[in-house]
């Protein structure tokens, strides 16, 4: 079977589930194989590290900066004032 980074159904309630990937595990499906229990789902220390990681400032990409500039740019000449 192809190894996917996408979380499985068991990961639905986990805080570390980012939607398209797990924050800590590269292969989350392997944590649930053979009826095992994922250790990250109840680990409070790991959840605290995740929350501090979320609070860190992010760096915007060039694409995001360009899109933000385009949306805030004043558009002259589009409509005549009445």
Q: What pLDDT score does 81 carry?
A: 52
Q: What pLDDT score does 52 carry?
A: 95
User: Is 58 inside any structural domain?
Assistant: yes
- pLDDT tens profile 38-80: 888 888 999 999 999 999 988 889 999 998 888 876 666 555 5
User: Is 42 inside any structural domain?
Assistant: yes
User: Is 78 inside any structural domain?
Assistant: no
What separation, in Å, do the N-terminal and C-terminal C-alpha atoms of the chain show? 65
User: Is 3 inside any structural domain?
Assistant: no
Average pLDDT over residues 6-28: 85
User: Is 54 inside any structural domain?
Assistant: yes
Q: What pLDDT score does 76 carry?
A: 63
User: Is 25 inside any structural domain?
Assistant: yes
User: Is 49 inside any structural domain?
Assistant: yes
Domains identified in the chain, total number:
1
Alpha helices for the chain (secondary structure H) = 29-32, 44-55, 62-72
Strand pairing partners for 17? 22
Range of the domain at 19: 9-72
């Amino acid at each position: 079977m192809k190894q996917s980074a996408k979380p499985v159904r068991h990961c639905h309630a986990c805080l570390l589930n980012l939607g398209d990937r797990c924050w800590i595990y590269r292969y989350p499906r392997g944590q649930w194989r053979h009826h095992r229990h994922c250790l990250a789902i109840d680990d409070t220390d790991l959840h605290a590290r995740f929350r501090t990681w979320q609070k860190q400032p992010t760096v915007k990409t060039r694409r995001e900066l360009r899109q933000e500039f385009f949306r805030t740019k004043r558009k002259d000449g589009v409509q005549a004032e009445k």
